[in-house]
A and B are shown apart, each in its own frame.
Chain A
Amino acid sequence: MARAVWDSSVGKKTVMAVSGLIMLAYLVVHMLGNLKIFFGSAEFNGYAHWLRTLGEPFLHHEWALWIVRVVLVAAVVAHATAAYQLSRRDIRARPTKYVHTRRRASYATRTMRWGGVILGLFIVWHILDLTTGTVHPNGFQSGHPYQNVIDTFSTWYGNVIYLVAMLALGLHIRHGFWSAAQTLGAGSRTRDRALKAIANALALVLTLGFVSVPVAVMTGVVS
């Protein structure tokens, strides 16, 4: 059955919808966690430490975190692979452009592919910056995420990369959430307006929530 799903354009889109919704659910939790930065370094670092002890003593130290990481990596890989393969199919199916062109579908709809590429690159940079510290600007300190976040958002490029990625995220979710509902067969005539409203609300709340952190560092509210 897995083969039949992956080989069908409708099935592959289902994989995209499910993996996209898994990432979306994670991002809601991640955004809420980030807001703890407004309550000071002790609370933020304490929260980061608690994430590592989550599930103990049933789970070993950091296991919950690793389970989440494995699921997320699987979701990103499945989502991006399906996106790439479906995009190839779409471009092959429409090789000749019309001579007479005009603007069509909404901005969010037209930017799903490039927006997705921006998000993919952002995810890599973000992990190298704040998880492994490989490209961190100012001496990465493991176990002190509060200071690390402030260091990143004290560089101009850290802010630019982050803000661009969060705008791309908002647009991606605006079309993506509604789209996933259609792919999974959950849309209907009567539910359409509600689904679009939820998509817009999710996009707005996530973007504003994530963006509030660099803005707070830039303006000195968090230091």
Chain B
Amino acid sequence: MKLTLRVWRQRAADTEGAMSTYEVDDISPDMSFLEMLDTLNEDLILRGEDPVAFDHDCREGICGACSLVINGDAHGPERTTTCQLHMRSFADGDTIDVEPWRASAFPVIKDLVVDRSAFDRIIQAGGYITAPTGSAPEAHATAVPKPDADLAFEHAECIGCGACVAACPNGAAMLFTSAKVNHLNVLPQGAPERETRVLDMVARMDEEGFGGCTLAGECATACPKGIPLVSITHMNKEWLRATRKAGKR
């Protein structure tokens, strides 16, 4: 395959960036999108140019490090992570636009790499449980009803990639935050911090400069792990419940 790439190039956080055009040749349809970028980078290095910086780690769809908005879609045209997107999703001769996640809470560090530490700070605000450390507890000691376990597991699938923020017209982090809140709030292990968790994580989310939810639904369409839009509804319900309880105290 022969492709034309238009890639966002930006030397540093505080410099202006622009789209640059590159031609890549000899691309196999079985390559992943990141392998295709590796090919481009090898070429750039041989020519003595600065390679394109992009985030990646596991390359098997589980770590959440890879990002990239491809032709306007977070993680590209398939519902998966960029590392699991294959070149067979494109046609020979295509022109492909590659841009970084766009949100003021995710500033660009270089080229396609953005700073997602705002997510870490949302987790620090309440995405944990307090439990004694040591050996694993007896598995049957705390019974979890099957529907709750399923719900928690569904939300635990969130890999923190930030595609939801990148796709949202308001740069909102509601889907991510709701996945984390719901994951722990339905479990007995998460019960002691049920109220403070949702209040603190939502407050942190606001402080980090993410936008608000207008229920446009773009986040759930972009999410590679299929976190559903209704997660946000559940989190709203938890937030209202916690606010009522805090008001009574």
Contacts and interface: CB of A to CB of B under 8 A. Distances in A.
Given A11-B243, A98-B72, A188 B99 contact: no
Contacts of B130: none
B209 interface: yes
A182 B170 contact: no
Contacts of B169: 90, 94, 104-105
Nearest to A102: B72
B228 A189 contact: yes
Given A10-B202, A93-B103, A1 B243 contact: yes
A59 interface: no
B88 interface: no
Max chain B C-beta neighbours (<10 A), residue from A8, A14, A86, A98: A98
Given A99-B19, A99-B97, A182-B232, A9 B103 contact: no
Nearest to B173: A93
A189 B234 CA distance: 10
A9 B214 contact: no
B117 interface: no
Interface string A76-95: 00000000001001111111
B163 interface: no
Contacts of B192: none
A90 B170 contact: yes
Contacts of A86: 212
B247 interface: yes
A95 B6 CA distance: 21
B240 A14 contact: yes
B230 A189 contact: yes
Interface residues of A, number: 44
Interface string B41-78: 00000000000000000000000000001011000000
A1 B240 CA distance: 11
A193 to B, nearest CB: 12
Contact of A10 (B72, B236, B246): B236
Contact of B172 (A14, A93, A97): A93
A136 B145 CA distance: 65
Contacts of B212: 9-10, 12-13, 86, 89-90
Query: Helix, strand, loop or mixed for chain B's interface?
Result: mixed
Contact of B213 (A5, A7, A9, A175): A9
B233 A93 contact: no
A220 interface: no
B215 A94 contact: no
Given A1-B247, A5-B243, A185-B240, A97 B102 contact: yes
A78 B98 CA distance: 41
A183 interface: yes
A7 B206 CA distance: 9
Contact of A94 (B69, B104, B246): B104
Nearest to A103: B72
A94 B170 contact: yes
Contact of A112 (B168, B214, B238): B214
Given A185-B238, A188-B230, 10 more contacts: A5-B243, A9-B205, A93-B104, A94-B104, A98-B102, A182-B233, A185-B240, A187-B230, A187-B233, A188-B233
10 contacts: A1-B247, A9-B206, A10-B235, A13-B213, A89-B170, A93-B209, A100-B69, A184-B236, A184-B237, A192-B230
Interface of A: 1, 4-5, 7-14, 86, 89-102, 104-105, 109-110, 112, 175, 178-179, 181-189, 192
A-B pairs, top 10 by smallest CB distance, nearest first, are: A185-B237, A93-B211, A93-B171, A90-B170, A94-B171, A1-B247, A100-B97, A9-B212, A90-B211, A100-B72
